[in-house]
Amino acid sequence: MKLGRRRSTEKGFSLLEVLIAIAVVSLGLLALATGTGLALRDMSGSRRDFSYWGDVEQVTDSLLGVGWNVVTAGSTTVRGRSISWTVATETAFRQRLDITVTRSLATSLTGTGSDVIVLYLAKPTS
């Protein structure tokens, strides 16, 4: 009978409690690692998109800087990205500029897609 009393006064953790604690900590670390992987993937995609739109803006600004009735159809390559454009005169006061940009798809490592950006140039009124 003295043995039973001794055990009830002892303090500490049972083996089952330690195993449950290890499982909970392991799940927490696994969730943290998964979150880190997703954050890195999203950061890479954001960096790629930022570069893409910077290239598009660079070409667009240079075309708009040329001005009304001077822009001609053409193409260029910026950081390995092909960008082409066509110009169409819609009215005596307006030109349409279609810029086609090739980009890699976010969901595929080898696939490419293209975006068409439409800008209008207006004849200055002076």
The model's pTM is: 0.61
CB atoms within 10 A of CB 53: 14
Decide: residue 102, CB within 10 A, 0-12 exposed, 13-18 middle, 19+ buried. middle
What is the reported pLDDT for 80? 80
Q: From the CA atom positions of the chain, what is the Rg in Å?
A: 31
List all residues 6 or more positions away from 118 whose beta carbon is below 8 Å from its beta carbon. 96, 97, 98, 99
What's the whole-number average pLDDT of the chain?
84
